[in-house]
Every structure is written in C-alpha cells, then in structure tokens.
Structure 1
Amino acid sequence: MRTTSTLKILINSFALLAILFSYSCKTGLQNGNTNSGWNQADLIISNIIVPKFQDRTFNVMDYGAKADAEFNNSEAFKKAIAACNESGGGKVLVPSGKYLTGPIHLKSNVNFHVEEGAEILFTKDKSAYLPMVHTSYEGMELMNYSPLIYAYGQKNIAVTGKGVFNGQANNENWWNWVGKDEYGYKEGMPKQTDEENLPRLRKMIADGVPIKDRKFGEGYLLRPTFFEPFECENILVQGVTFTNAPFWILHPIKSNNITIDGVTVRSHGPNNDGCDPEYSKNVHIKNSIFDTGDDCIAIKSGRNNDGRRVGIPSENIVIENCEMADGHGGVVMGSEISAGVRNVFVRNCRMDSPNLDRAIRIKTNTIRGGFVENIYVKDIIVGQVKEAVLKINTHYGIYDNQEGDYIPSIKNIFLENVTVENGGEYGILIKGREQDPVKNIVLKNVSIKTTKTPVKIENCEPIKFINTTINGQEF
C-alpha cells in the first residue's frame, strides 16, 4: 500500500511539473520572467532518488585483489561485487594502491568505493572486454566491447571515493582507431570509418537489423565507453576522477535518477565527451570539473532511425556549480538528438579556456531531426571561448549527406545573468531552418565584453534582448 501511495505521489508531482513547464514556456520565457522555470529545477532535484546502501563493507583484498599494477584483479572485483549484491548490498572497498583490471560490472545495491590513493588501471588487452554486451556507439545500439564500468538493468548503484579510474587509452591504445594523425593513426592502418566498421553499423540501422544481430567487438574498431549504466535506476557517481578514456566518459543511457557530484574528468582523447546523458531523465550534475577532448557535457537522445525507434527524450536535467575548461562545448545538446531534449537547467557554472569552442551549443540537422526546448541558463561566468557564447546550428554535419526529411524544432532558450570576457568570433550564432525557424530566444542581463561579430542569425525569430550589452553596445 505504501509503495502504491508513493508511486501516485511521484506521478502527480511529475504531472504537475509538466503543466508548470508548459505554462512557464508560454508566458515566462516570453516576458523574461523565468522564476517558475527555475522553481522546476529545484523540484526536479528534490524528486531524484539518490541511492543509499547497507552499512556493510566488502574489501576487495579479502577476495584476492593485489595492488601491484600488474596482477589482473578482474576476478577479485567480480567476487566482491557479487558477494555484496547477494548479501543485500553495501560498499565494495578498494584501498589505496594500483589495481589492474578488465571491465567492472556493477550490480544492484553496490557502492564501488575507491579510496584516495587508489588507481584503477584498465587493461590494454582488448580481449578482456569480451564477451560483447548490449551497448551503444554514437547514439546507435549494438553488441560490442563492454564499457570499462558497466551496469545493465540494475538499481541503486554507485561509484564513489577520491580514487582515479584510468582507462589507459592513448595513441597506441584505442585512440588510433579513430583514424586521425594526432591520435597515433598512420596511413594504411585500419580505422573506424572503414566500410566494415561505422558505415556497416549505420547501414544495419537503416535496414532495421535487430540489435542482437548488430555484432561488432573483436575485429572491428568501435571503442567502448568508460562508465555506462544501461537501463538503470538510482545512480550515484561521486568524488572520483576519470582520465585517459577510450571514448565517451560518463554515459547513462535509458536510465533514471542520476546524480553526478564532485567528479573530475580530465581526458583529451578523440570523442572524449565528459558526460552524455542519453534517453535519460532526472539527472543532477553538480560540483564537477570537465576538461575534455570533446564536449564537456553533451545531452543526447539517439542518432537518426535508432533515436526515432527508441523515442525517449532526455529531460529534466540540472547542471550546477561546475567548471568547464577545454572542450568543443561547455553544455551541448546534440548532435545525436533524434528523440529530443527538453527541460535543461544550467546555473552557477564557470566556463573558461582558450581551447573551449562554445559555451552553450545546440547541434542537429535534417537527418537527425529531433527537438530542443525549455533550456534555462543562469548565473554563468565565461572567461573566454573560441567561436561563440551561444551557437545553435541545424545544419551540423561532419559526414557527407546530412540533409533529410526531419526538420528540427528548437524553441524556448533563455540566458540570464551571463558575463563573458571574450566571446571569440561570435556572441550569438544561430543557423535555423526556413521551414521551422528557431523560436523564443531571450537574453536577459547578458554582458559580452568583446567579440568580433556580436550577432549572426539565419532563420530565427527576433531575439528578445533585456538589459543586454555586446561590445559595450546595448541590444
């Protein structure tokens, strides 16, 4: 009875949330008053379930672990996690030291806790990441190498502590597969864009091949993600550091109730996005540092036909008190965005690096399609960016043939109390579509001290400027 009552309360809360979002987007964004919207950010946070664990500790040393950076601890970690799970949950403790391992598969009610001074070194032996698991690559589901830390269909899981997860990716391990000289690729080497790799996966999806038959893994060159909870609930990542990632770093997919708190991501390899919630909802990212080789935070919802097949938008995402350094974008929506993104809140963040391309970015095209709506950005300090403070691009494409029949919809984007020292090439850069122009962009109390081109827009309804100055000129 209590469970049913709680469920009804949650359902009613989120129904109310949807109504209030609709109201705030019709009225608040248009007149510059976003208080009702920001109240919803607090409601989202209050409704997120943060996992709690039994007061029991399972020390990996008791299961045969060795902290010598040479012994493979895969079996010891597996046994400790299984014992913790089977007993009803608790903490799997990794003491100070260096631990070599294969992939770590989390189970329900397990907090994998890595103490300060502990470093997990993921093996360079790619066979260790087999057998294949159900995972995703650039917004496309497939059977592939296991992510370095993986959970499938689990509930109440955590990775915590002050330790380091080192993927050991570099120009000789994983990165050279991308096929770029700066990542160790040399002419004649195989690469992920060869016909049997990414093009084969894209064709399978276009042809409607079932996921179980999209088999890659050994002999193919699609890199694994670092931390991937897949169809999980109640997830906590707290305090730890991730470095030297093969591919995307924090990738909750089809998951609910996600808290990322006090995490440091420093990884400069190809496609080293810091955090990519995909088909996920009720996400709280706070107090974290992102210094990456790609987007710092990129909110996604599947690529092309696969995204439309799944049809789960990413929504109710709050990002606060974070620092963004190097990266292609600070907070980004896309480009794998075919199922849509809505209700994203970014506040009290600092973005600053000569190697940070944009602060806020939305990217899609008419093959990806999708929608982006209800994006609130407030109390942001930007030191410098290369290209733009706000960039919206509905013509995004790094591959050929990016034109299709799925016109993106982008509306209700609000920036408030944003201070920028150096806005780079553009203050605001928007390239929409004539069939469905970008709608309802509001800038309030925004100051961009220097930029080469204040505003460049195409196929966008007139931006509403409230107390906004660019290059000392009021707009």
Structure 2
Amino acid sequence: MKHLIWLLFTTITSIAVYSNSTSAVVAELKHSDWDSVPSILAQIKSPEFPDRDFLVTDFGAIGDGNFDCHAAFQAAITECANSGGGRVVAPAGRWFVKGPIHLLSKVNLHLEKDATITFSTTPEDYLPMVLTRFEGTEVMNYSPLIYAFEQENIAITGEGVLDGQAGPNRWWNWKGHWGGADETGWHRGDPDQIKDVEKLVLLADAGVPPGERIFGKGHFLRSSFIQPYRSKNVLIEGVKFMNSPMWVINPVLSSNLTIRNVTVDSHGPNNDGCDPESCRNVLIENCLFNTGDDCIAIKSGRNVDGRRINVPSENIIIRGCTMKDGHGGVVLGSEMSGGIRNIFVEDCQMSSPQLERAIRLKSNSLRGGFLENLFVRNIEVGEVSEAVLSINLQYWDESGEFFPAVRNIFLENVTSQKCQYPLYLVGLPEQPIDHVYLKNCRFYNASEPSVIENVKHMFFLDVSQPR
C-alpha cells in the first residue's frame, strides 16, 4: 500500500487480521454510512415559536448584577408558556438569578447582545431536588442551573453569556483532590463527593428506585449547567457558557436536539462541554469548546442503571466544531452502558497542548453496552499531547462481566501535526475491538509508534507517519 510506514505499528499485539491491500480496504470502506446523514438531519426539527416577546424587565428584573431576578425570570417563562409560547428576553445587562431557571414548553429564553445571566453558587438555592443524572446514574439531587423536565419545543438563543460563576471554593471543591487546592479550593479534610458517588452507585446496583436515591442538601454531588430531561425539539444557539459546576450542556433521554454556534469556556473538574446522554437525533455544529474535561462526550448511562434504562445515544452529527483544551475532542463513553451508535464527525479542528486526544472511546467490562458505527472525516489536528485516535477498553482499571462491543470505526482524511501516538487501541482479550478503518490519514511528528492490543480486522489505505 502506498505511503504506509511500518514503524507506525511496531507495538501491535493480539491482532487477528491486518490488511493493507487496496482492494480489501476499498471493499470494507463501502460499509461507511455517510449516505444516512441527510435522513438523520431531516428528522431534527428546530422548534418554532410565536412572534411574541416577554421582557424580563416587565416582570420586575433589574440588570445591575446584584438584584435577584429569579422570580422575574420564572414569572416571564410561565406567562410566555401560558400565552402559547414566544421569547423570554433578557436585554443587555447583568442579570443575577438566585436559583435555577426551569424552562417550559414553547419558550425560547433569548439573551440579547451584552446580556449576561449569572447564577448563584449557594447549593441550597437549587432546592427542591429534581430527578437528574449524576455521571450516568439517576438521582434526586440539586437542580441543574437550567432545567427542563418532559418539555417540548424549548430553546436558549442569542448573543449573550450564561455564567455559572463556579470556581475554587464554589462547586469545584466538591470534586476533592483534582489538580491541587489552587484549582478547586479543596484542602485535605474538606468534604468532597467521593463517599456520595460510592453511595449512589451502591443504591443503583441494589435496585433502589431513583425517587428514593435522595441526595441534595448535606451531600456533594455537583449539578450540570443545562439539562433538558426527557424533552424533545430543543435548540441551543449562539450563547456562551462559562464556569459550570460540572458538565455544561447535558441533555438526557431527549430527542431532536440542535446545538449551534455555541461557545463553552469552562475549565473546572469534569467540565465536559456537551454530553448528550441516551439521546437520539442530535446536531452539534459550528461550536467552540475550551474545557477542563472532554469537549464533546456522548454517553448513555452507567453500569446497572444504564442497563436498567437501556436507551442508547444514536444518530448524532458533529460538524464544523473547534476543540481547544480538553481530555478529548470527540469522545464516546465512558458511561455508555445503554450503548452508542451512528456517530458522524466531520470538518472539525482540534488543537492545544492541553488537548490530550482528538477522537477517544473509553469503556471497560463493568460498563457493558456497545460503541459502534463511528464515522470521522476531514479532521485537522494541530497538536494533542497523547493519541489522535484512542480506544481504551481498560479505562479506570475497572472490570466486570459485561464486555463492551466496540466495532466499525472509520477515519478518513485525518491529519495531525504533533502527537505522542497516532493510534492507541487497547481492547479486551474477551472482546477485541473489531473493524477499524483508516484512509488518507497523515500523522506528522509522532514521538512514539502506535499501540495496538486486542484488535481484529484492521484496514489501512494511504496512511503514513511522516517526519
């Protein structure tokens, strides 16, 4: 095969089939399913709203950054919904809300240019508790900063900023030891989330109903920034998110989602940029992610609880996005026990000394589930500190009897300028990674050869590691 440099693959172990014949690769690449993208896009309908505005100032809001506008926002949202829908408008100003914003059907929360909504960092302001997910497990906990439960046709739009105001000693310290006290404000002996995470997992494993998994006050599980839960026809467009307690954009069990022209700039612990969980028909386009964790991470529930609900994330299109800092650019897992399939990534740029991986799949045999049908093309990677493509099925050193199936991974026209490994593929002996395809890929200035363990059926066409 043309341009294949064998040093690229000097650490291959346990590989069943490795083919570099042009005919074999071309035949296998016919299974690539980009032709299905138009039909997926046709199912993603952005919500429509009546041409009617409800200014938060008409409901008593004052944009001086100090006055509590929470009641005004909720009154405007309720009036808008009861009137048949429209826009709830935050004009230019700094609007402080002492508690969560709960969206209702047919409401578009619109932030005009130079409008900033800032959120309280007092946890008790996010009571009463709501049904939410923490790291893929259902729980009764503090409300996300913006929340919608079983709503339809909702949006957040505009040119404004949503600032969660999280930081050292404000939500982030609940993570515990992460990067040192200077980054989160946590010090040895301070309370943290560790015992609560362990307790929640034990409750879920024991089959305790979600409504009886009571956390909230006196506990230390951080909330996501925005979470549409069991909702459909959702649009998030144009706005900027900053300083989230935890995951930023986190739709759960929702469908027909459009996330467009959004900026996420949040560097705290577990500050993933966009995490669709058990969602169907999702478009993420022309967004910028600069995060403290994965930029985009697709998920579907954790372990027993994920298998109980058993709803995959599927039919997700990611295009035209820019990824800067983060643990991974586009990530599948690790909370993926309900499965992930039919993911399309194209025309993205990823680069930063603090971006660890470009494309990342992570799971283990405690998770189970499947990761299948990932199609990636036309990706420019400037610099990543580890691998361009990373698949690790021994993630977090956890193991069990639910071996995840990972198969049908396609990369085409992917170029990187600097990395440690072009590929880091570590499967499981009991369930190897199956069918990996690379076509027209260039991995410049890789400092080490690829690592490939427990993989079968690999195909390469015009792949090289130039110096």
Bin the TM-score by the shorter chain: over 0.9
- 3-state SS of paired residue (1:358): coil
Counterpart check, 1:441 vs 2:436:
yes
> 1:16 is matched with which residue?
none
Bigger relative contact order, structure 1 or 2 (CA pairs below 8 A, ≥6 apart): 2
Where do 5+ consecutive residues of structure 2 fail to align?
1-23
1:461-472 map, 5 Å: 461-471=456-466
Aligned counterpart in structure 1 of residue 55 of structure 2, from 50, 53, 59: 59
Counterpart residue type for residue 130 of structure 1: L
Q: Deviations over 1:269-326 (max 9, x none)?
A: 0000000000101000001000000000000000000000000010000000000000
* Stretch of structure 1 that moved more, 37-46 or 263-272: 37-46
Q: Deviations over 1:77-120 (max 9, x none)?
A: 00000000001100000000001102100000000001110100
Q: CA deviation at 1:453?
A: 2.2
CA contact (8 A) 1:358 1:387 kept: yes
How far apart are 1:42 and its partner, in Å? 2.2
Separation (CA, whole Å) in 2 of partners of 1:117 and 1:304: 43
Out of 82, 89, 96, which is 2:85 matched to?
A: 89
Opposite residue 308 of structure 1, the aligned amino acid is R
Aligned length: 439
- The corresponding residue for 2:169 is 172
Given residue 146 of structure 1, which amino acid in structure 2 is its aligned partner? S
| Contact 1:29 1:442 (C-alpha < 8 Å) held by counterparts | no
Indicate conservation of the 8 Å contact 2:25/2:437, yes or no. Answer: no
8 A contact 2:85–2:107 mirrored in 1: yes
Identity of aligned residues (%): 49
The C-alpha deviation readout for 1:345-397, integer Å capped at 9, x for no partner, is 00000001000000000000000111011000000000000110000010001
User: Quick check: 1:47 aligned with 2:43?
Assistant: yes
For residues 58 and 27 of structure 2, what CA distance do their matches in structure 1 show?
61
1:237-261 deviation digits (Å, cap 9, x = unpaired):
0000000000000000000000000
Matches within 5 A, 1:268-287: 268-287=267-286
**Per-residue CA distance 1:24-82 (angstroms, 9 max, x = gap):** xxx99852236x61121222112211101000000000000010111111100000000
Counterpart pick for 1:414 among 402, 410, 417: 410
Aligned position for 1:185 = 186
Task: Report the secondary structure of 2:153's partner residue.
Answer: strand
Call closer, same or farther: CA 1:87–1:303 in 2, change over 3 Å: same
2:51 is equivalent to residue 76 of structure 1: no
Asked if structure 2 preserves the Cα contact closer than 8 Å seen for 1:29 and 1:412, the reply is no
- 8 Å CA contact retained: 1:291, 1:324: yes
Per-residue deviation, 1:264: 0.1
Partner residue in 1 for 2:390: 391
TM-score (norm 1): 0.91
Structure 1: any 5+ residue segments left out of the alignment? 1-26
CA contact (8 A) 2:25 2:460 kept: no
Structure 1 partner of 2:311: 312
Instruction: Name 1:17's counterpart in structure 2.
Output: none
Q: What CA distance in whole angstroms lies between the structure 1 residues aligned with 2:134 and 2:433?
A: 29
TM-score normalised according to structure 2 size: 0.92
* Partner of residue 211, structure 1: 210
Indicate the residue corresponding to 1:37 in structure 2.
33
Counterpart residue type for residue 164 of structure 1: V
Partner of residue 291, structure 2: 292
Contact kept? 1:30, 1:440, Cα under 8 Å: no
- 3-state secondary structure, aligned to 1:328: coil
| Shift in CA distance, 29/231, structure 1 to aligned 2, threshold 3 Å | farther
- Give me the CA root mean square deviation: 1.2
Give, in whole Å, the separation in 2 of the partners of 1:282 and 1:379.
Answer: 22
Which residue of structure 1 lines up, in the alignment, with residue 241 of structure 2?
Answer: 242
Q: Which residue does 2:264 correspond to in 1? A: 265
Residue type of the alignment partner of 1:445? N
Secondary structure of the corresponding residue to residue 384 of structure 1: coil
